Amino acid sequence: MIPGRILLWATGRQSSPLLARCAVTPNHPNRRLLPVSRTSRIARAWESNAAAGEKTGHIEAAPNESILFFDNLFPLKLSPLISWRPWQTETDVTQLLNKFESSSGGGMLGPINLVKRAISDQIPMKVTDIIPRLKDGGAFVKFTHPNEITAAEIETKLADLLQKEPIKPWFNPFRGIKIGLVQGVPWLEDLYRLPKSRLRVEFVQATDAESPPELSQETLYSVFRRYGKISEITSQPSDSKVLPKFAYVDFVLVRDAIMAKNCLHGFKVHEQGIKNATRLRLSYEQRVKAHNIWNWFTSHPRIVIPILAGFLAAFTVVVFDPIREYFVKAHVQKTFEFTNSRFYKWFKRQTSDILTFRKNKSDQAGLNALFTHQRGLIEGIQNSLLETVDTFVVVHGPRGSGKRELILNQVLDGRSNVLVVDCKPIVEARGEAGTIKKLALEVGYRPVFSWANNLSSLVDLAVQSTTGVKAGFSENLESQVIKILQTTAAALEGVSLDGRKKTDSDAHLSADAYLEAHPERRAVIVIDNFLHRSEEKGIIYDKIADWAAALVQSNIAHVIFLTNDASYSKSLSKALPDRVFQQVTLGDLSPDVAKKFVLSNLETEARPTDDNNDEAAKPQLVVSEKQRHKDLKELDECIEALGGRLTDLQILARRLKIGQSPKKAVAEIIDQSASEILRMFLLANKSNGGEGAAGAGEKKWSAEQAWFLIKEIAQKESLRYNEVLLANTFAASTTPAAASGEAALESLANAELITIKTHGGRPQTIRAGKPVYQAAFVKLFNDIVVKARMDLAVLTELAKIEAKTIDKVENELSLLASLRIQPYQTAERANYLLAKMQGSQRKIIAYEAEIAVLKGVLSHEA
């Protein structure tokens, strides 16, 4: 029980947070003396004294008064809530607490009751003021005591009593209420400074005339240890110029730091042996965490960065690889294609008689007529797909020979597990990111982050420049291609095993054994345009060939290569060195088959349909029987001139459909081919000549070499390979890129200007690239202007070659003439050089005479 009676005065206005606290006060003009009961007395004191300090915020005690700080009255978790809005002051919170005290059940658990229970009636003290500190979780209690007993003795008695009979609040049942005698001058601030376990102890002067000495750690320990366990005392660095001087005192518990701050703020310490006293100014300080783990990571990049790269790779494999395999399977099985949906198939069946695509129908009829003559070839490839043959099927033929149509429309017609990989867009893509994107698009590999590799390369470069170790975040083109192909292989295995059931008789077999026993269930991979621009990105073809070999050897899929390059065996033999390939060669059609192909297109177009009443659906021409007989007779002659290249025959059929005569159609095709040859091979500039037509990257031939072949083939139709290499245009070309004659011929063959026939594994003859080019060569040869211009270029180059020969001879003769003594042995060499010089000079004179004639032709002909 608190002895005495507390008299309160009220002014009728609300006090601000830092207005004077209410206590027993002398005469006041507005005061009212209110006798209150013991229970409401504490509540009134609590309510009146929520804001302490007269403008300064400091608590000052009278000469006969002392102050105790009661800890653990409020939970510290309320500190952030009280320090911010919506609480304006601690008075507002006090009013809520008063309501809680007056309510039923709140008397025994409230903070006021805890203070009453802590102060025993046996202790001779009289409470005059109670100042709550909700942010610090306690309250200041001001009291008076008789002169016979000191405040320190009262503190000791209360502390012993609370030690024997601890009072524990409901929110902290493991820690009882503790008290401490306030030895300094507490500062009651409402700043947003939450309690921390670290105290910043600043040493300030006790009086204006004194300079404050810095206390030692021993003195600080003796002053602060009584309030709780201290973990560390840190003095200010000796070279620090921060004023005032300070030290850090770290407590183990936050409430011990709160008790020390509220009891020792403003306390004057007189250290032994030092004249001047020091006043302590305390404040909470946020302890900077050590960040040991982060410091270890940043200080060991050689270990951490490879580990992070490994975790990133593992995360990619675990998360993205199953998604990518699913999309590859959906791409192979055409799961998301609209044309494979049931609705499209139903709609196509219902409207097949109304919506007829005549162009596609006629073209398909022509191809069917063509493939009828190749039925044995088609059945041979189909039978190989039903057998366990661990090798490749290679279909070779010139461009436009119908390789793709033969495989996709005839051999693999009706199969759902077919993956077509076109190498042309992959190789023609710009940069590594474009190549990866195109390859992923061909196999259905998604999601693909082709742009991320450029960013990873920059990060890898930055890490390597700073730490000296390559992080390994970026991947080169080879590793990314291998990764895509491996994921595709895993998906293809799932496609091949998709129809397998547990009820099958051979369900006990492993996946490899099952696919070996059922080769008809394997997926089929068609690799089109293999070795297209092989000199640019040969690594792509090497990896695709190795991947295809692995699929064939592991019985996952059948692989069919479609290529225009006759040297395909060199690349594929590296992947399967001990196997014999199943080779299929497609050439030009014979005249009879070519004629049937064209006529099949025309007959399909002219055949009446069910909707023949619709004039818009009948683009057929009404011709007389005599005109038809004449056109058929012309067709035999035109096909012989046009040749049997499938693409040229399709162009001829389309021209005949629109009403052109066979002679006119073939003449326009030949003119178009001649213009193409002239633009791409003869009149092309030095920087990019032939690159667009040849599709072979860097130009390795000259226009003079191309014209030499055109001119000779136009007259002879076939040239001996070695004879061409011995010609001066190929043996001693003045163009640096075309210095090698064999490389020039190979480049022109890849550009399809010529075709090189082999015999016994060696090149033997050279012919036109396709049959229509033979007629185009003749047309260019008969063009006076073109012939004069190109002959002029060839003669000019030959004159330069002879001029170089003369220069070499003159240099050697000068060397022989410089000898002081002329041996008789040099006479024969000198005569040889002079004869050679004379021969070259005669050739130059003859070339210049021809050049003069050609210049006259160019000056008079338009």
| pLDDT tens sequence across 496-534 | 888 788 777 877 888 888 888 888 889 999 999 998 877
Q: Under a CB-based contact definition with an 8 Å cutoff, are residues 654 and 711 in contact? A: no
Which amino acid is located at 126 in the chain?
K
Return all residues near 662 (Cβ < 8 A) that are at least 6 apart: 631, 634, 635, 637, 638, 652, 656
Residue 10 has pLDDT above 70, yes or no: no
SS3 435: helix
| pLDDT of 587 higher than 80 | no
Q: Do residues 784 and 825 make contact, with C-beta atoms less than 8 angstroms apart?
A: no
Q: Residue 469 — pLDDT band, cuts 50, 70, 90?
A: low
Residue 719's DSSP bridge partners are 766
Inform me whether the pLDDT recorded for 339 exceeds 80.
no
Q: Give 57-79 as a DSSP string.
A: -B----TTEEEEEEESSS-GGGH
**Cα–Cα distances in angstroms (integers) from residue 99 to residues 88, 93, 96, 620, 704, in the given order:** 18, 10, 5, 102, 109
> For residue 697, is pLDDT > 60?
no
Provide the percentage of residues in the chain whose pLDDT is more than 90. Answer: 26
Percentages helix, strand, coil for the chain (3-state, rounded to 5) are 50, 10, 35
Distance CA 359, CA 366 (A): 11
| Peptide linkage before 244 cis (omega within 30 of 0) | yes
Instruction: Tell me which of 39-53, 354-368, 433-447, 507-521 is least confident.
Output: 39-53
Instruction: Give the number of other Cβ atoms within 10 Å of residue 565's Cβ.
Output: 18
Contacts of 599 (CB under 8 A, 6+ apart): 369, 635
So what's the pLDDT on residue 513? 87
- Read off the pLDDT of each residue in 701-727 and give the average, rounded to a whole number: 92
ω into 447 cis (within 30 of 0): yes
Better-predicted residue by pLDDT, 198 or 316: 198
pLDDT, tens digit (0-9, with 9 covering 90-100), for 413-444: 888 889 999 999 999 888 888 898 999 999 99
Task: Return the higher-pLDDT residue of 559 and 44.
Answer: 559
> Would you state the pLDDT for residue 13?
31
Between CA 533 and CA 541, with CA 539 as vertex, the angle to 5 degrees is 60
CA distance 367 to 541: 30
Question: Using H for helix, E for strand and C for coil, what is the string for 595-607?
Answer: HHHHHHHHHHHHC
**Average of per-residue pLDDT across 77-93:** 57
From CA 51, how far away is CA 132, in angstroms rounded? 8
Per-residue model confidence (pLDDT) at position 229: 94
Per-residue confidence band for 551, with pLDDT thresholds at 50, 70 and 90: very high
Question: Confidence class of residue 251 from pLDDT cuts 50, 70 and 90?
Answer: very high
d(CA 536, CA 627): 52
Pairwise CA distance, residues 602 & 219, whole Å: 114
Q: Is 129 or 626 the better-scoring residue by pLDDT? A: 129
User: How many CB atoms lie under 10 A from the CB of residue 314?
Assistant: 10
Which helix (H) or strand (E) segment is 249 a member of? strand 246-251
Provide mean pLDDT across the span 330-340: 82
In which band, very low, low, confident or very high, does the pLDDT at 373 lie, cut at 50, 70 and 90? Answer: low
Question: Taking 80 as the threshold, does the pLDDT of residue 744 lie above it?
Answer: yes
Partners of 144 in the beta sheet?
65, 126
Q: Residue 665 has what pLDDT? A: 86
Average pLDDT of the chain to the nearest whole number: 79
Distance CA 522, CA 712 (A): 50
Q: Helices H, strands E: what count in the chain?
A: 32, 17
User: Tokens 């830092």 appear where?
Assistant: 18
**pLDDT for the residue 284:** 93
Q: Are 179 and 158 in contact (CB under 8 A)?
A: yes
Residues 805-855 have pLDDT tens digits of 999 999 999 988 888 887 888 888 889 999 999 999 999 999 999 999 988
Count Cβ neighbours within 10 Å for each residue of 189-203 and write b for 16 or more, e otherwise.
ebeeeebbbbbbbbb
Residue 26 has pLDDT above 50, yes or no: no
Check pLDDT > 60 for residue 23: no
**Integer Cα distance of 713 and 301 in angstroms:** 68
Sequential DSSP letters for 117-180: HHS-TTS--EEEEEEEETTTTEEEEEEE--TTS-HHHHHHHHHHHHHHS----TT-TTS--EEE
- End-to-end CA, the chain: 130
Three-state SS across 502-538? Answer: CCCCCCCCCHHHHHHHCHHHCEEEEEEEECCCCCCCH
Q: What is the CA angle 562-567-571, rounded to 5?
A: 80
Residue 719 scores a pLDDT above 90:
yes
Output the six-digit token pair for 565: 């390059």
Q: What is the DSSP code (8-state) at residue 610?
A: T
Mean pLDDT (whole number) for 443-472: 70
Burial-class residue 797 by CB neighbours within 10 Å (0-12, 13-18, 19+): buried
